[in-house]
Amino acid sequence: MFFKLAQASAVLYLAAGVSVLVYLAVGRTGFIRAGRFLLIAGLLLQAGAIAGVIHFSSGGAVPSPVQQAVTFLAFAIVGLHLLFSLRYGIPGFAAPIAILAFLLTFYASFPRIATGVKVEETVGLWPHLHMILALIGLALFGFAFLAGILYLLEERRLKDKRVNPTFFRMPPLEVLDRVNTLCLMIGLPLLTLGMVTGSIWISRDAGRLWTWAPHEVFALVTWSLYVGLAFLRFYRKQRGRRAAWGAVLGFVVAVGGYFSTRLI
């Protein structure tokens, strides 16, 4: 059931992404509306998939922990985008969002062949709290990552005077920068809370708050990196191109760390 729903929502996200890309190319606003509709439909199906895992973890194929995390990440990114788009007119932004959501969801929509390793059971309050907080934080950073990439591309275009009709359909630079700030402002506290709840979870299992496990070390590296970015932005008033690079770099490290330690 999970995989069926995940596949359906992956298809919807892909369709949404294509629809918004068509809008960017030809400028027909109908494609934006279609894109939003498809995103919402995909989001609902994905919500169904997630609810299914939480409530009816019966027999049959079950997603691996990484797949669960990735599903939730896609869900959070799309949800955040829909929330943000209520406040900011950022229609063109839906294209990278939808495509990222598609890739993540697609990854999680086919059962992994059992490797003989017993899947660790993650149940209880602290593990769930830890996962949700950390993943929403990660989703926000993913959002900032996309905003950063768009910022860099658009800024390059503006500087080199290569503006074309598609350029005029993208969000303004200042909005992309604002989105980046907002994501950092909300994402960092969430990541911090995610780390705290994670430590509590570990301390219940291992009796210590910190065990120097690889993913803990990576989490610490990521966290320090984002604290550094926040410092630069809020105390050194860094913005624009450099802040965009920071957001891109931060997310690459965060995701790279997460996957390499989980997949080991």
* Distance from chain centroid for Cα 14: 16
Residue 264 and residue 262: Cα distance in Å, rounded? 6
Is residue 230 near another protein by the rule CB under 8 A? no
* Start-end of H helices in 27-64: 29-55
Residues contacting 85, CB < 8 A, separation 6+: 36, 91, 93, 94
Q: Quick one: DSSP state of residue 34?
A: H
Is residue 22 near another protein by the rule CB under 8 A? no
- Kindly state the smallest distance separating residue 23's Cβ from another protein, in Å: 9
- Kindly state the smallest distance separating residue 59's Cβ from another protein, in Å: 50
- Segment interacting with another protein, rule: CB under 8 A, options 1-9, 24-32, 35-43, 193-201: 24-32
Which of 113, 164, 263, 264 is close enough to bind another protein by CB under 8 A? 164
- Phi-psi label, residue 240: left if phi above 0, alpha if psi -120 to 50, beta otherwise: left
Is residue 86 near another protein by the rule CB under 8 A? no
- Kindly state the smallest distance separating residue 7's Cβ from another protein, in Å: 32
Is residue 85 near another protein by the rule CB under 8 A? no
Which of 57, 124, 168, 228 is close enough to bind another protein by CB under 8 A? 168
- Kindly state the smallest distance separating residue 163's Cβ from another protein, in Å: 6
Residue 19 and residue 34: Cα distance in Å, rounded? 7
Residue 146, burial from CB neighbour count under 10 angstroms (0-12, 13-18, 19+): buried
- Segment interacting with another protein, rule: CB under 8 A, options 47-55, 131-139, 206-214, 232-240: 232-240
Site residues, another protein (CB under 8 A): 26-30, 154, 158-159, 161, 163-165, 167-170, 172-175, 178, 237-242
